[in-house]
């Protein structure tokens, strides 16, 4: 919280009593001569609080809706033994300053583009707005350093303090007055009227924090450039392709079409927003983002929204993935029509580009490989990933660490990092299996291998091998398994294990091995499962879990902590877990950190009461009207919040408890050389 209130509160309140013109010295004037009675005072003009629209070049707005409420929720979630507001008072050193703030109102910020700045060097203009309880009290506080300058009724300029200049203004909305600060007076002149008479009344999502990027401001700023260059952009791309020798008509048409879609997508886009809400009662943190479209004239907008009508509970295939998944997701697939012509364009383009550079049969094989990339109109695709139990390394003293140990440690590290992954597709496997076989055949063509080896020279010794291997035990009948392996020697990986051998030089004799993983494509009736792992045995065990007819006890269907997904409605969704991240980290610490550092990290991770297993739920939804909105929500549940709080607390405690670094003393000066021997 420290950086947040420093920038949003400390900056403004420090300048409030410090800004303003110096108080002029008193001028002695003679007593007035007797005259007629003074006329009655003229009533001061009322401030203008009529509604006003945002400046046309406004590109971003932000809101912290209720500072006091956020402080209380953070104190509750983090189980803090102190009040954040007391820290604020201590930092400012003046309770009168804090008392002037209306902490139960919103802190606003806005950003616009200076319309007079160059197109290639746009100048941002930004203002921060702090809510105040009372205009008179704020003016009295500002008068400590001098008299504010009145700009217009209800608006005063306080002058510059350090890098900031501020205005004090009456306001509509949840605060009667606001302190607005920026780096330049021009920014204040452009944004203060709207930020006191328009922005405070705008309604957002009701979250604690809201950030919104508005495309209309960018369109207004670059309208002339879009109108001028948008229509000619495809032609410019085609010309550029011709200049570099890419003259394939199909490939040119594809890339020119992509260029033409850019301005259309910019015209479709309305806004991007991000929200953060803290729920102290449920001990949850909910983050969400939304992309809003004005229309769907572009390929990109249509592609992003064309499955919005498929929202519902997760598909049945989602609940078939292994129970020990650290993360899993589902989506509704995509219509192959969106990629019509893409395969053919890439196929013919690559054929033209490689002609004369490779053997004719190799060119044909690569072209066919691209032309046959499977595009199936599937209604459901799932993905899952999990960790593998860390294999215990053989305890070896640094002096006894041998080249063969370096190969083994590298293989263990790859196994721990890769874990296992599964991709499930609601479609038959024939097209995928044929394509994978074609890939193996194309790669292993002798003429292609000779060409690659010649191009790599001495580096060809690390050229990966690709070959069909027996299917992992437990896989469904008909599973096709392909091994991808990178040959290595102990010299290639020796330096990645410096901490295990105390930075010793590699011995004269080297060991050889390989770093490999297996891709298994398993047919399962009308479904296809594709698995990847550096441990074929573990991969076979997971494929046995997901095949049709396997017991549900080993699948996600048996987990009770995913009921919110099961009973919800979403276009896409899934979950991740903290343990999926921490497990990958701890699995690779043996050669990255010292033993002491590893123990510290493991202790911090071990302090999490739920071991990082609570799922963090992710869902996306979308509307189907003419101006669709796609929304993604990330829900961090109580178990994960408790784990994060415990881990952060443990990390801070260990940092404070760590002994200070030992300063190395300077070595003693060398002994003086012995005096020369006397000649006899």
pLDDT at residue 340 in the model: 85
Q: What is the pLDDT of residues 142-176, one digit of tens each?
A: 887 678 999 999 999 998 877 889 999 999 999 99
Average pLDDT over residues 114-127: 90
**3-state DSSP assignment of residue 474:** coil
pLDDT at residue 28 in the model: 53
Average pLDDT over residues 192-212: 95
pLDDT at residue 467 in the model: 97
CA–CA dist 235, 252 (Å, integer): 10
Which of 20-34, 142-156, 372-386 comes out lowest in average pLDDT?
20-34
Q: What is the DSSP letter of 36?
A: S
Decide if pLDDT at 491 tops 60.
Answer: yes
Structure-model confidence comparison of residues 89 and 449, the more confident one: 449
Is residue 674 very low, low, confident or very high in pLDDT (cuts 50, 70, 90)? low
CA–CA dist 499, 502 (Å, integer): 5
Is residue 650 very low, low, confident or very high in pLDDT (cuts 50, 70, 90)? confident
Q: Determine what percent of the chain falls in helix, strand and coil, rounding each to the nearest 5.
A: 40, 25, 35
Count the alpha carbons within 13 Å of 665 in the hemisphere toward its beta carbon. 3
Tokens 């002096």 belong to residue? 399
Give the contacts of 88 (CB within 8 A, at least 6 positions apart): 5, 9, 98
Is residue 30 very low, low, confident or very high in pLDDT (cuts 50, 70, 90)? low
Decide if pLDDT at 181 tops 50.
Answer: yes
**β partners of residue 152:** 155
Strands 209-214 and 177-182: unpaired
Is residue 60 very low, low, confident or very high in pLDDT (cuts 50, 70, 90)? very high
Decide if pLDDT at 659 tops 80.
Answer: no
**β partners of residue 635:** 286, 617
Listed by start position, the domains of the chain span 2-20+51-211, 306-333+378-657
pLDDT at residue 38 in the model: 60
Which whole-number Å values give the CA distances from 447 to 393, 457, 486, in the listed order?
41, 15, 20
pTM for the full predicted model: 0.86
User: What rounded mean pLDDT belongs to the chain?
Assistant: 88
Average pLDDT over residues 332-340: 92
pLDDT at residue 575 in the model: 97
Average pLDDT over residues 631-635: 97
pLDDT at residue 268 in the model: 97
Decide if pLDDT at 22 tops 60.
Answer: no
Decide if pLDDT at 391 tops 50.
Answer: yes
Decide if pLDDT at 104 tops 80.
Answer: yes
Give the contacts of 59 (CB within 8 A, at least 6 positions apart): 111, 112, 113, 213, 214, 217, 218, 221
């Amino acid at each position: 919280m420290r950086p947040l209130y420093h920038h949003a509160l400390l900056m403004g309140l420090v300048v409030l009593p410090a800004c303003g013109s110096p108080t002029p010295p008193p001028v002695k004037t003679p007593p007035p001569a007797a005259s007629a009675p003074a006329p009655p005072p003229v009533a001061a003009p009322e401030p203008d609080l009529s509604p006003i629209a945002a400046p046309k070049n406004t590109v971003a707005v932000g809101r912290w809706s209720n500072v006091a409420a956020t402080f209380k929720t953070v104190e509750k979630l983090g189980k803090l033994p102190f009040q954040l507001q007391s820290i604020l008072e201590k930092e400012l050193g003046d309770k009168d300053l804090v008392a002037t703030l209306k902490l139960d109102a919103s802190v606003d910020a806005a950003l616009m583009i200076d319309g007079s700045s160059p197109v290639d060097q746009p100048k941002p203009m930004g203002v921060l707005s702090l809510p105040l309880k009372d205009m008179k009290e704020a003016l009295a506080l500002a008068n400590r350093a001098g008299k504010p300058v009145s700009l217009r009724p209800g608006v005063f300029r306080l002058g510059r303090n350090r890098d900031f200049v501020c205005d004090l203004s009456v306001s509509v909305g949840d605060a009667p007055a606001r302190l607005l600060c920026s780096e330049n007076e021009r920014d204040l002149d452009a944004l203060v009227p709207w930020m006191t008479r328009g922005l405070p009344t705008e309604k957002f999502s009701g979250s604690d924090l809201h950030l919104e990027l508005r495309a209309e401001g960018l369109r207004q700023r670059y309208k002339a450039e879009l109108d001028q260059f948008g229509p000619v952009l495809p032609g410019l791309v085609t010309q550029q392709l011709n200049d570099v020798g890419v003259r394939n008509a199909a490939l040119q048409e594809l890339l020119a079409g992509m260029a033409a879609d850019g301005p259309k997508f910019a015209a479709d886009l309305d806004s991007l927003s991000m929200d953060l809400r803290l729920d102290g009662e449920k001990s949850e943190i909910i983050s969400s983002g939304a992309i809003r479209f004005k229309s769907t004239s572009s390929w990109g907008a249509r592609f992003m929204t064309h499955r919005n009508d498929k929202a519902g509970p997760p598909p049945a295939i989602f609940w078939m993935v292994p129970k020990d998944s650290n993360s899993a997701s589902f989506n509704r697939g995509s219509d192959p029509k969106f990629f019509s012509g893409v395969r053919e364009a890439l196929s013919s383009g690559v054929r033209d580009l490689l002609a004369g550079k490779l053997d004719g049969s190799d060119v044909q094989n690569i072209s066919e490989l691209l032309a046959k990339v499977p595009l199936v109109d599937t209604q459901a695709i799932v993905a899952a990933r999990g960790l593998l139990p860390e294999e215990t390394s053989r305890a070896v003293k640094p002096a006894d660490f041998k080249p063969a140990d370096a190969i083994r440690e590298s293989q263990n590290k790859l196994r721990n990092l890769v874990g296992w992954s599964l991709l499930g597709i609601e479609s038959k496997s024939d097209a995928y299996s044929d394509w994978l076989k074609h890939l193996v055949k194309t790669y292993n063509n002798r003429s292609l291998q000779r060409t690659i080896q010649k191009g790599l020279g001495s580096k060809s010794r690390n050229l990966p091998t690709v070959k069909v291997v027996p299917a992992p035990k437990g896989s469904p009948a008909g599973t096709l398994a392909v091994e991808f392996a990178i040959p290595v020697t102990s010299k290639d990986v020796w330096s990645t294990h410096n901490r295990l051998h105390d930075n010793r030089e590699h011995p004269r004799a080297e060991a050889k091995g390989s770093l490999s993983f297996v891709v298994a494509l398993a047919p399962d009736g009308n479904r296809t499962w594709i698995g990847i792992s550096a441990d074929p045995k573990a991969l076979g065990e997971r494929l046995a879990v997901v095949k049709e007819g396997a017991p549900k006890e080993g699948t996600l269907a048996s987990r009770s902590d995913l009921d919110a997904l099961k009973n919800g409605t979403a276009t896409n969704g899934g979950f991740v877990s903290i343990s999926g991240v921490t497990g990958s980290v701890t699995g690779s610490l043996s050669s990255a950190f010292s033993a002491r550092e590893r123990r510290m990290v493991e202790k911090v991770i071990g302090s999490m009461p739920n071991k990082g297993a609570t799922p963090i739920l992710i869902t996306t939804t979308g509307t189907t009207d003419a101006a669709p909105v796609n929304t993604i929500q990330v829900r961090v549940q109580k178990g994960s919040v408790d784990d994060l709080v415990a881990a952060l607390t443990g990390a801070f405690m260990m940092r404070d408890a760590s002994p200070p670094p030992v300063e190395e003393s300077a070595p003693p000066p060398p002994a003086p050389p012995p005096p020369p021997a006397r000649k006899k």
